[in-house]
């Protein structure tokens, strides 16, 4: 296994993130629409009192992202994915709206104390920064700086949280390509992903009406035909 220096990982990430937009990536024998994938990973909530944005970065995000960048070699990609495999990263922007419309953003510490992920009947809290490897800490710092740079003030209020992605036996807790669900809780507010993600599933075709449908659908929404994966 190649040991990557923290700054190498930081550099590769920064470059690959900049390249990730509106392209297609061939993934597991079918094509992932990266714009659709990006959109599926983000969830927002807003009412008159609160505005929240949650983005999930599963391992597939990094894989699609990195494999889409021709300047990174397959062995470098494998090394990075190995570093990231045990973790799920969640980015959060959360603000309470005051009586006069001003937004009071939640601090990293406030969110760290309340944010949880939920899958297969178990809630999990984020790791503390001290619990992470230096490589992971570099990544979090790089991503934080990147968001602050491209999104401006909102980016400064976007905080990253690192959660476990595997159990004690190394088995993935959530696989976004397989049926199930995954949630992020901010206080009582639930941000829920029904899985598999449509963008990570090959499209299905209805045998009755011929319609091309999301790979996450089980039945045709027009005529209720049961859909079979090709
Ligand atoms: Zn149909």
DSSP 8-state symbol, 2: P
User: For the chain, which residues score pLDDT lower than 50?
Assistant: 1-7, 9-10, 12, 14-15, 18-22
What pLDDT, on the 0 to 100 scale, is given for residue 74?
86
Under 8 Å between Cβ of 195 and 188: no
Ligand 1 center from residue 174 Cα (angstroms): 30
CA of 213 to the centre of ligand 1 (A): 9
In the chain, where are the structural domains located?
6-196, 197-230
The per-residue pLDDT for 29 is: 60
Q: How far is the CA of 205 from the centre of ligand 1 (A)?
A: 8
For residue 36, the CA-to-ligand 1 centroid distance in Å is 22
Supply the pLDDT for residue 19. 44
Q: How far is the CA of 44 from the centre of ligand 1 (A)?
A: 31
Residues, Cβ < 5 Å to ion ligand 1: 206, 208-209, 211, 220, 222-223, 225
Ligand 1 centre to CA of 199 (Å) is: 20
Q: Residues with Cβ < 8 Å from 55, sequence gap 6 or more?
A: 41, 42, 43, 90, 91, 92
Structure-derived torsion over alpha carbons of residues 95, 98, 101, 104, reported in degrees to the nearest 10 = -30
CA of residue 215 to ligand 1 center, whole Å: 13
Q: How far is the CA of 208 from the centre of ligand 1 (A)?
A: 5
Whether residue 8 contacts residue 139, with contact meaning beta carbons closer than 8 Å, is answered with no
Cα of 226 from ligand 1 centre, angstroms: 9
195 CB neighbour count, 10 Å cutoff:
20
Ligand 1 mean position, distance from CA 225 (Å): 6
DSSP, collapsed to helix, strand or coil, labels residue 107 as: coil
CA of 191 to the centre of ligand 1 (A): 30
Number of residues assigned to the chain: 230
What does the pLDDT look like over 9-39, one tens digit per residue? Answer: 445 454 455 444 445 555 556 678 888 888 8
Rounded Cα distance, 228 and 65, in Å? 29
Q: What is the pLDDT of residue 24?
A: 55
- Identify the pLDDT of residue 23: 53
Using CA atoms, how far apart are residues 227 and 211, in angstroms rounded to an integer? 11
pLDDT of residue 1: 39
- 220 CA distance to ligand 1 centroid (A)? 5
Count Cβ atoms within 10 A of the Cβ of residue 34 and give its class: 0-12 exposed, 13-18 middle, 19 or more buried.
buried
CA distances from 165 to 10, 87, 89 (A): 21, 5, 9
| Residues 52, 53, 57: CA angle, nearest 5 degrees | 145
What's the pLDDT score for residue 153?
Answer: 66
Residues 6+ apart with CB under 8 A from 177: 28, 60, 195, 196, 197, 200, 201
Looking at residue 176, its pLDDT comes to: 94
Contact between 87 and 165 under an 8 Å Cβ cutoff? The reply is yes
The predicted structure's pLDDT at residue 90: 93
175 CA distance to ligand 1 centroid (A)?
Answer: 28
Can you state the angle between helices 134-151 and 6-19, rounded to 10 degrees? 30
pLDDT at 18: 44
Query: Residue 221 C-alpha to ligand 1 middle, in angstroms?
Result: 7
């Amino acid at each position: 296994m190649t040991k990557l220096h923290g700054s190498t990982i930081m550099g590769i990430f920064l470059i690959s993130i900049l390249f990730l937009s509106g392209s297609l990536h061939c993934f597991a024998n079918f094509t992932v629409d990266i714009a659709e994938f990006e959109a599926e990973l983000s969830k927002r909530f807003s009412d008159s009192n609160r505005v929240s944005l949650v983005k999930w970065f599963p391992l597939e995000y990094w894989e699609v992202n990195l494999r889409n960048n021709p300047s990174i070699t397959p062995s470098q990609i494998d090394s990075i994915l190995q570093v990231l495999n045990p973790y799920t990263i969640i980015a959060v922007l959360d603000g309470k709206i005051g009586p006069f419309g001003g937004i009071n953003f939640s601090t990293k510490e406030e969110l760290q104390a309340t944010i949880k992920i939920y899958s297969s009947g178990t809630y999990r809290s984020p790791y503390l920064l001290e619990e992470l490897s230096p490589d992971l800490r570099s990544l979090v710092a790089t991503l934080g700086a990147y968001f602050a740079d491209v999104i401006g003030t909102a980016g400064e209020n976007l905080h990253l949280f690192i959660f476990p992605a595997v159990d004690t036996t190394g088995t993935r807790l959530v696989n976004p390509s397989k049926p199930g669900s995954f949630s992020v809780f901010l206080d009582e507010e639930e941000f829920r992903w029904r899985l598999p993600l449509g963008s990570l599933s090959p499209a299905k075709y209805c045998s009755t009406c011929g319609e091309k449908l999301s790979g996450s659908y089980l039945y045709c929404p027009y005529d209720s035909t049961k859909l079979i994966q090709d």
